[in-house]
Structure 1
């Protein structure tokens, strides 16, 4: 083999050796340190997001159930004074309570407050959502309007 070829082979061999060099221990330690410092906050962000999504889903479900139960009570017209509690059919994760109470007022007669609450468990804590509405006895209003000609539209 000519001498010039040997020089080319040696030079190319040395180049190949330097290109195939691996990672140093310092590079590996620095990489592990960077991963160790950045992964916990990232994992915490993912778990916080998942918890927030679960709570939002629970609140949305509770809101729908709350509106449903309030609609049932309002459909009664002028509901009787009472306090009730129960579970929703097919969903034992959520419970409800209804309180219908008279409102004492000198200006208005036949006024009642309806309070509907929905309860559920989230991370070993009880969460709740409530809705209130006021209803009046239309029969009393009609009687007052008939007895007082100033309030009639005729």
Structure 2
């Protein structure tokens, strides 16, 4: 009679609802993968936003210099007297470097025409050099 009672108790336990250790471990792994995917998406989007911000700032620095040159009298618009072999000048307090080139119309088809090219460069988070170039 003791044997029947113990079997009946074992049968009763197997009918109880709940989670086994394996089911719990599988659920934890699935949850961890989902959280990792979300974290990766956030990281990628933040890097994209930082790159877009840097490109916008660089474009503003280039446009600022072009506007400054546009406001000068035509005779005062000359090429930067710095040595062309030297690296571009850094903008103080930033990671950006700006280079300005002024060239006179080379083919001579239009009188009094000058071309202004402004290039702003910087290093991104992956240590890749990025540039923005504006011309008038």
TM-score normalised by structure 1 residue count: 0.64
**Residues 1:122 and 1:83: Cα distance change in structure 2 (over 3 Å):** farther
* Structure 2 residue 110 is matched with structure 1 residue 108: yes
- 1:1-154 aligned at under 5 Å gives the runs 23-78=19-74, 79-82=77-80, 84=82, 85-89=88-92, 91-123=93-125, 124-133=127-136
CA shift for structure 1 position 106: 4.3
Query: Which of the pair is proportionally richer in strand?
Result: 1
Counterparts of 2:113 and 2:71 in 1: how far apart (Å)? 16
Unpaired runs of 5+ residues, structure 2, are 1-11, 83-87
CA shift for structure 1 position 45: 0.4
TM-score normalised by structure 2 residue count: 0.72
RCO comparison, higher one (Cα < 8 Å, 6+): 2
CA shift for structure 1 position 34: 1.0
Unpaired runs of 5+ residues, structure 1, are 1-13, 134-154
- Tell me the matched-pair count: 114
Q: Is the 8 A contact 1:83 1:99 kept in 2?
A: no
Q: Which runs of 4+ in 1 moved over 6 A?
A: none
**Structure label with greater radius of gyration:** 1
Counterparts of 1:83 and 1:37 in 2: how far apart (Å)? 58
| C-alpha RMSD over aligned residues | 2.1
